[in-house]
Amino acid sequence: MSFTVVTFLLTILFFGTYDAHGLQKSKHNKVVVCYVASWAAYRPYQGAFSIANLRPEFCTHLVYAFAGLNVTSWTIRSLDPWADTEKDVIGNYRKMTALRQQYPGLKISLGIGGWNEGSKNYSQLASSPDRRRIFIASTIEFLRMYEFDGLDLDWEFPGSRGGVPDDKLNFLRLVKELSDAYREPRLSLTAAISADKKTIDQAYNIPEISKYLDHIFVMAYDYHGTWDKKALPNSPLRSNDGLNVEDSITYLLQQGAPAEKLVLGLPMYGRTYILTTPPEKPDVNPIGLPALTTGFKGPYTGQEGFMGFNEICEAQTSSEVWTTGWDNDTNTAYAIKQNHVVFYDSIKSIEAKVEYAKKKKLAGVMVWSIDTDDFRGKCYKSEFPIMKAINKVLADTSDTLTSPVPVPGPNTSSVQFISYIVLMLSIMMIYFTV
């Protein structure tokens, strides 16, 4: 084969592998949604996570968590105005949306709500057509101002925690009206929903909201916790009590949720317990053992009954003596130290859940939240081991990252310039040969 043909083919190959911005194209076609907890920046020591620590190449979508609701004006508002809009002059909102300049395929949404925002105020908002109209208009202005691609509704949960039975219908009305209003400005609309069957029944008209939401993020975790007064897995893949990932997804599909809109939520954290009596042997399986109503805290997150994956793996690699184990029935990892127990998702259990999402032909997966992965690489040979494992399984290859991925070495402009030179040389060689 002549030099001309070889050069030309190399050029075509180059442009087939990289887009116009010098970024690798996707190795899979699944959604990988990464929630970013804005308050993670305030965590102490090595647990502090800022926009600078973010690795968008592992995600197709980012969700900034959270904005809130102004119950005086019924408009969207920042929950941390200094950090969100003023920090380092531009604020974290614009820092995050500016990532699209380096990662053109990235979609970035703003989440509103969350557990701490409760349900009562959102119930009152959704019950009034006038309040809904004001709120919707405010979100369009807000999203445009900070250049977000869309809104993620995190009302936890319609019909409970201060909500009323009419929330189910009013949530549908809110979703439909948001969808209609977002059509012209081309904003996306998603919602994070409970994985609990009882909550699903009282909160969501699944077939109807599915018509108006671009994706539905299933929060398939917090099935158990210290409220059970016994040690049980946070997010079992399967179980005998119906509180597990497989039963939740099966139920949602039966209720009319399209598989292509469902996004399976994966927890990057575990639930902690303090047993009422330490086990006689450290290698005992702790499932079902009696526990106190309060769990222990991690050094970074500082929340009772909760530890991030980074905190869990660091504890196991420290001088503390933890005994690790695996429960086959629930596909769950656990660790024990005297009367302290934590159930969590390891890389092994995460991989199994991603395989399940692929098997069920779901839209993809979501993580809560990327800031509690081992993002500093203190436990593994490299940073973000869970995010890498997720993308590896989705791509079904041993070494991959999801789109968009910056090419190491030359910067984007250099890659584009070199590509241009190669292309021009190929054209010249073809011309002179002919």
Summarised one tens digit per residue, pLDDT across range 114-150 is 999 999 999 999 999 999 999 999 999 999 999 999 9
As for how many domains the chain has, the answer is 1
In the chain, % of residues over pLDDT 90: 82
Q: What is the CATH number of the domain that holds 131?
A: 3.20.20.80
Summarize the confidence of residues 347-356 as an average pLDDT: 98
pLDDT band for position 319 (cuts 50, 70, 90) = confident
In a domain, 335, yes or no: no
pLDDT at 293 over 70: yes
pTM of this prediction exceeds 0.85: yes
Residue 209 contacts residue 170 (beta carbons within 8 Å): no
User: What does the alpha-carbon distance between residue 361 and residue 128 come to, in Å, rounded to a whole number?
Assistant: 37
pLDDT at 25 over 90: no
The helix (H) or strand (E) run that includes residue 269 is: strand 269-274
Query: Would you state the structure tokens that stand for residue 70, as one six-digit string?
Result: 């102004």
Summarised one tens digit per residue, pLDDT across range 227-257 is 999 999 999 999 999 999 999 999 999 999 9
Q: Note the helical H segments in 183-231.
A: 197-203, 206-212
Q: What is the pLDDT of residue 143?
A: 98
Q: What is the pLDDT of residue 397?
A: 55
Active site residues: 156
Total residues belonging to the chain: 434
In a domain, 197, yes or no: yes
User: What does the alpha-carbon distance between residue 161 and residue 123 come to, in Å, rounded to a whole number?
Assistant: 10
Give the dihedral sign, CA 233/234/236/240.
positive
Summarised one tens digit per residue, pLDDT across range 44-59 is 999 999 999 999 999 9
In a domain, 407, yes or no: no
For the CA atoms of 411, 413, 417, 422, the dihedral, rounded to the nearest 10 degrees, stands at: 50
Summarised one tens digit per residue, pLDDT across range 171-195 is 999 999 999 999 999 999 999 999 9
Residue 128 contacts residue 166 (beta carbons within 8 Å): no
Residue 197 contacts residue 173 (beta carbons within 8 Å): no
Q: What is the pLDDT of residue 415?
A: 37
Q: What is the pLDDT of residue 430?
A: 44
In a domain, 341, yes or no: no
Nearest Cα neighbor of 120 from 168, 76, 163 is 163
Domain around 148: 26-268+346-395
pLDDT at 107 over 90: yes
Amino acid letter at 54?
L
In the chain, % of residues over pLDDT 70: 85
Summarize the confidence of residues 303-324 as an average pLDDT: 94
Q: What is the pLDDT of residue 177?
A: 98
In a domain, 323, yes or no: no
Summarised one tens digit per residue, pLDDT across range 378-408 is 998 899 999 999 999 999 854 444 333 333 3
Which residues have C-beta within 8 Å of that of residue 292, sequence separation ≥ 6?
226, 229, 273, 274, 275, 276
pLDDT, the chain, mean: 89
Rounded to whole angstroms, what are the CA distances from 408 to 24, 60, 163?
10, 19, 50
Summarize the confidence of residues 356-377 as an average pLDDT: 98
In a domain, 7, yes or no: no
In a domain, 34, yes or no: yes
Q: What are phi and psi of 284, to 5 degrees?
A: -75, 150
Which residues have C-beta within 8 Å of that of residue 188, sequence separation ≥ 6?
107, 109, 149, 150, 151, 182, 214
Residue 415 contacts residue 31 (beta carbons within 8 Å): no
In a domain, 17, yes or no: no
- Three-state secondary structure call for residue 236: coil
pLDDT band for position 196 (cuts 50, 70, 90) = very high
